[in-house]
Structure 1
Amino acid sequence: MGEKVRFAVVGYGHMGKRHAKVIREHPDCELMAIVDIQDLSGDHIEPFYNSLDCFLESAIAMGTDVMIIASPNGLHAQHALRCLAAKKHVLIEKPMALNKTDAEAIVTRAAEVQKQVFVMMQNRFSPVSVWLKELTDSGVLGNIYLIQVNCFWNRDGRYYKKGNWHGTSDLDGGTLFTQFSHFIDLIYWCFGDITNIRSNFRNFNHEGIIDFEDTGLVHFDLIKGGVGSLSYTTAVWDQNLESSITVIAEKGSVKVSGQYMDKVEYCHVDNYQKPDINTSNLKGGNGTEFTEAEINHQNFIHQMLCSLRGESPEMTLANEGEKVVGMIERIYNN
């Protein structure tokens, strides 16, 4: 691997464009190509390929280190497996796949070709999320009694456009896969796996627009002890309302919030002083301002580069991405 790590992006929708922007702005990265089935000739993107196979057979692919899979959810596994077969490292936009079988196949194939697989769970790299993880791991809270996760968002006709893959069962997969898998991941990362799941789903104002629920109530037990709930919806009128995780524990209570888990709303813990948590803005190489999501994205890419270069232990996000897919499957099946 050369001085710069070289990337290609598969899928140039909203998330593909974000990936491309962050890679272009990172001093240790180089964007080699964009792959997308839509005609991007008018966007002055060079080089551009309209099929993954066409790109992987090109000379440029020979010098590419990492393939970023930002295609529709239902194509993630297919595209990741194709790139692993070509002996490329793979970064998969969430979700890793739409079922555990496909996620397991990706992990197995990566081991066979000795390449790393990363799943884009950038909210783990929010300073507030890192703090919450450290707090729960430290034992300062004592026994965890209750966690409550609220995700109250707006997704209406401005998002679900006719002919788009969003809202379809085969390419989108469901609200928990597309909108709220980051929060399932934070549950798993900070509190462990869940069991004894009880789910209740409704579609209140998206009938005829999406193939699945727009609202869900999920209750569960934490394997490590304690109980929890997840309340979520995309039926909020006009704009997002809330994203939050509340923890009630033996020695204190904590609430974090913000769409990208960037705010500590409440922290009252016995014999504990909350540290100053830095959420300062980050600028790109040409002074570009990044959003909070892009800051977390940059932090993710930094750790990924360290892992690829052997400067830190391999990131285990492939196995954990598989766990998150399995959790979502179990929630939908209960």
Structure 2
Amino acid sequence: MKRLIEEGYLGRLYHVTATVTSGFRGSAERPWNWWSQRAAGGGLLGAIGSHMIDLFLWLFGDIHAVCGQLRTFVKERPDPKTGELRPVDSDDFASILFKFSDELSESIGTLTLSAVAGPGGENHIIAVGENGTLILDARSRLWGARRGSGQLADLSEPDLAVELPEIADNIWARSFVHIAREIVQALREDRTEFPDAPTFRSGLHVQAVMDAIYESSRIGCWVSLAGD
């Protein structure tokens, strides 16, 4: 997907829509744990949103402003030891708007995250531009259509991870296989880097975007990233 974007498949970016939903936190009977406490690192924005923000930055460039709403729909969970209800303050839902860099001032991204959705869930990214559309689905299949073609084409490339029956059939598991292979190969060749690897700066950038989203949800308006 990144290669096609760099080659101009989308042209000028219009908008990006990403959705990741599941029901794994939907039951109020699920016991309280660290996931239920924001101070302990719990919450959907940190667990899943951080990866999606990193992907947005990698594929579409810098984010200079965000507007987000975080919600905690399941507000209490039973303590696993005592059975008494304990308060939950971590988010199980997030809806976020992104404004990309000044060069793409009209381009906008949306991200919807839910851990309280129904069965099945969704996991996809849709990027729409002046020249075409690209869609990455939950099974890492890439679909595309040039502007005016009227039909999606399968642009996927062979994925060796799919051939491993012990690997779960989702984008998270397959992505881990790919990065693990890169790490192993780098160790064998005594390298400390490999192409497109995230850096400490990458993680810091993602954290800055997340902090801005938390602040936006708190004050109820757009928040610009520091330095913009």
- TM-score category by the smaller chain? 0.7 to 0.9
Residue 324 of structure 1 corresponds to 206
Aligned-pair distance for 1:311?
A: 5.0
Counterpart code for 1:307: A
Distance in 1, Cα, partners of 2:29 & 2:3: 36
- Native 8 Å contact 1:148 1:246 kept in 2: yes
Q: Deviations over 1:291-332 (max 9, x none)?
A: 244433222112113334345844343322222222111111
Aligned-pair distance for 1:274?
A: 5.5
Distance in 2, Cα, partners of 1:193 & 1:147: 14
Matching residue within 61, 65, 68 for 1:199: 68
- Native 8 Å contact 1:282 1:295 kept in 2: no
Residue 300 of structure 1 corresponds to 179
Q: Deviations over 1:88-109 (max 9, x none)?
A: xxxxxxxxxxxxxxxxxxxxxx
Q: Secondary structure at the match of 2:200?
A: helix
* Structure 1 segments of 4+ aligned residues over 6 angstroms from their partners: none
Q: Deviations over 1:197-236 (max 9, x none)?
A: 11122223x1124312322221121114111111222121
Residue 100 of structure 1 corresponds to none
Aligned-pair distance for 1:173?
A: 3.5
- Native 8 Å contact 1:166 1:172 kept in 2: yes
1:175 pairs with 2:57: no
Stretches of structure 2 lacking an aligned partner (at least 5 in a row): 78-87, 217-228
Distance in 2, Cα, partners of 1:305 & 1:160: 37
**How do residues 193-272 of structure 1 correspond to structure 2 at under 5 angstroms?**
193-204=62-73, 206-209=74-77, 210-223=88-101, 224-225=103-104, 226-237=107-118, 239-258=119-138, 262-264=140-142, 266-269=143-146
Distance in 1, Cα, partners of 2:156 & 2:26: 37
Distance in 2, Cα, partners of 1:240 & 1:183: 19
Q: Secondary structure at the match of 1:176?
A: helix
Residue 31 of structure 2 corresponds to 161
Q: Secondary structure at the match of 1:179?
A: helix
Larger radius of gyration: 1
- Native 8 Å contact 2:22 2:121 kept in 1: yes
Change (3 A) 1:273 1:157: closer
- Native 8 Å contact 1:160 1:166 kept in 2: no
Residue 36 of structure 1 corresponds to none
1:277 pairs with 2:157: yes
How many residues get paired?
193
Give the TM-score of the pair, scaled to structure 2.
Answer: 0.73
- Native 8 Å contact 1:219 1:228 kept in 2: yes
**How do residues 87-126 of structure 1 correspond to structure 2 at under 5 angstroms?**
none
Change (3 A) 1:307 1:323: farther
Distance in 2, Cα, partners of 1:291 & 1:329: 31
Give the alignment's Cα RMSD to 1 decimal: 2.7
- Native 8 Å contact 1:160 1:167 kept in 2: no
Q: Secondary structure at the match of 1:333?
A: helix
- Native 8 Å contact 2:28 2:76 kept in 1: no
Change (3 A) 1:269 1:139: same
